Amino acid sequence: MVKHPLVKDILVDRKNIDTKISELAKNVNEYYKNINYKDSTVITIGLLKGCVPFMAGLIKELNFQCITDYMIVSSYAGNITNVQEPKIMNDISVNIEGCHVLLIEDIIDTGITLNFIKDYLLKKGAKEVKVITLASKPNKIKVDLKPDWNGFEFGDEFLIGFGLDYQERFRNLPFLATCDISKLDNWKW
């Protein structure tokens, strides 16, 4: 694959991402190993669109039965920073009342959107909501929220690849990289 001019530095390659996903799956499997499936179901909810590569790799390694569903919640509107209150664009279609929910996210930036979703799912009757994320930016989190499982930690870099995007592009890159934001003002697609 030819390196796109907006890819500044590759931070984590595909091999290391796959290794991290396996480690995370092992920890999640350990947590849910004693779930009584007659009384409870684990529902994995992916936050579209960024979760797709991470969730696809993760659920293949889960050794418990689960139901998968998805939500679209927006607060970025094509920008590189959070600019509006979270808004549910597409809600889940399954009943989560009394269920264990595993919320799957690509990255936690400010945490505002994820905190909003977690509260929303608890109000819908989830027994518990656990959060797993491929990446986070701990120094940017503005709410009282910590992921239960976290893959990689980053600083203030604007990241693209492996589900992370800029204006819906670059989600398909097989790595996590920094975006060369100095080029964005004059960039033409």
Distances (CA, A) of 59 to 43, 53, 81, 174, 189: 11, 10, 29, 18, 34
Strands in 176-179's sheet, in edge-to-edge order, are 7-12, 176-179, 159-160
Distances (CA, A) of 60 to 65, 76, 151: 11, 29, 17
User: Is there a catalytic annotation at residue 9?
Assistant: no
Which residue is catalytic, options 13, 39, 106, 109?
109
Q: What is the β-pairing status of strands 87-90 and 100-108?
A: unpaired
Annotated active-site positions, please?
109
